[in-house]
């Protein structure tokens, strides 16, 4: 009787393929993190794929294998950052709990703040593109920022209707919050010199954001959460 070996061989091949796919995912994530750091430091024009490869100790062709041009890499890096932020937003919503608009805003801007503390290059990466009116700024506004604003602005409007936030254009409130989330990543080195406080100290981070929450959001009864109706 002929032995059937192909299915077994296929089963042995699947774990290897999954491992290769996982390595590819990890490699791309590392490339995108390094790209954000490089673009944040040097700007789009000053950054190079070769310098990004050097940050990782990789060969230049490995990066161009995944991302054919610097522009494609920049766009992928922007999407990478905002995908992580959106994923944290989605994970932070407890199952069975429906936060009020104000509580959800507090939660989502807190997530953005924590991301900028963990990755201070993020705001510098974005700021580089706001210095000039260029195609990348228009692209990121349309492809990345518009969906985020579509999520945040209606919540700001609803909280304003409830008298919980100042009655200003919601976009002004949003950019005020963005600037507040960026304070430690932007002024960390200066604050270290002038006060000795480190923006990387967890106590400083917690104290700063507690101040922001108290000034902007105040206290909301029962944390502003209500049970969803079954």
Summarised one tens digit per residue, pLDDT across range 60-95 is 899 999 999 999 999 999 999 999 999 888 886 665
Q: How confident is the model at residue 17 (pLDDT cuts 50, 70, 90)?
A: low
Domain boundaries, the chain: 12-227
Q: How confident is the model at residue 219 (pLDDT cuts 50, 70, 90)?
A: low
- CA 229 to chain centroid, in Å, comes to 32
What pLDDT, on a 0 to 100 scale, did the predictor assign at position 100? 87
Q: Which residues contact 54 (CB under 8 A, 6 or more apart)?
A: none
What pLDDT, on a 0 to 100 scale, did the predictor assign at position 195? 96
Q: How confident is the model at residue 22 (pLDDT cuts 50, 70, 90)?
A: confident
Q: Is residue 127's pLDDT more than 80?
A: yes
Torsion-angle region of 163 (φ positive above 0: left; ψ -120 to 50: alpha; else: beta): left
Q: Is residue 4's pLDDT more than 80?
A: no
What pLDDT, on a 0 to 100 scale, did the predictor assign at position 131? 76
The two structure tokens encoding residue 59: 């060969």
- CATH number of this structure's domain 12-227: 1.10.357.10
CA atoms within 13 A on the CB side of 3: 3
pTM over 0.85: no
What pLDDT, on a 0 to 100 scale, did the predictor assign at position 213? 95
Q: Helix or strand or coil: residue 116? A: helix
Q: How confident is the model at residue 113 (pLDDT cuts 50, 70, 90)?
A: very high
> What would the pLDDT profile of 165-214 be if each residue is shown by its tens digit?
999 999 999 999 999 999 999 999 999 999 999 999 999 999 999 999 99
Which phi and psi (to 5°) does residue 98 adopt? Answer: -115, 100
- CA 203 to chain centroid, in Å, comes to 22
Q: Is the dihedral of CA 107, 206, 112, 163 positive or negative?
A: positive
What pLDDT, on a 0 to 100 scale, did the predictor assign at position 154? 97
CA angle at 199 for the pair 91 and 136, rounded to the nearest 5°? 65
CB 36 within 8 A of CB 122: yes
What pLDDT, on a 0 to 100 scale, did the predictor assign at position 221? 43
The two structure tokens encoding residue 170: 């919601």
Other CB atoms closer than 10 Å to residue 192's CB: what's the count? Answer: 15
Between 15 and 102, the more confident residue is 102
What pLDDT, on a 0 to 100 scale, did the predictor assign at position 5? 53
What pLDDT, on a 0 to 100 scale, did the predictor assign at position 158? 97
Q: Helix or strand or coil: residue 95? A: coil
The two structure tokens encoding residue 5: 């070996």
Q: Is residue 216's pLDDT more than 60?
A: yes
């Amino acid at each position: 009787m002929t032995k059937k070996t192909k299915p077994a061989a296929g089963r042995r091949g699947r774990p290897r393929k999954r491992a290769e796919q996982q390595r590819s995912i990890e490699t791309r994530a590392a490339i995108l993190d390094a790209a954000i750091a490089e673009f944040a430091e040097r700007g789009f024009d000053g950054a190079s794929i070769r310098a990004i490869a050097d940050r990782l100790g990789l060969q230049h062709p490995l990066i161009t294998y995944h991302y054919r041009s610097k522009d494609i890499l920049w766009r992928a890096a922007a999407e990478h950052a905002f995908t992580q932020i959106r994923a944290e937003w989605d994970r932070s919503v407890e199952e069975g709990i429906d936060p009020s608009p104000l509580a959800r805003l507090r939660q989502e801007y807190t997530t953005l703040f924590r991301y900028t503390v963990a990755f201070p290059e993020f705001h510098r990466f974005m700021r580089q593109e706001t210095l000039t009116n260029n195609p990348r700024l228009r692209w990121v506004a349309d492809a990345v920022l518009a969906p985020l604003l579509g999520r945040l602005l209606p919540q700001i409007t609803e909280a304003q209707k409830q008298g919980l936030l100042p009655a200003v254009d919601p976009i002004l409130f949003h950019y005020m919050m963005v600037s507040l989330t960026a304070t430690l990543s932007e002024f960390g080195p200066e604050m270290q010199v002038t006060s000795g406080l480190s923006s990387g100290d967890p106590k400083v981070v917690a104290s700063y954001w507690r101040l922001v929450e108290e000034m902007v959001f105040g206290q909301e009864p029962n944390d502003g959460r209500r049970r969803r109706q079954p």
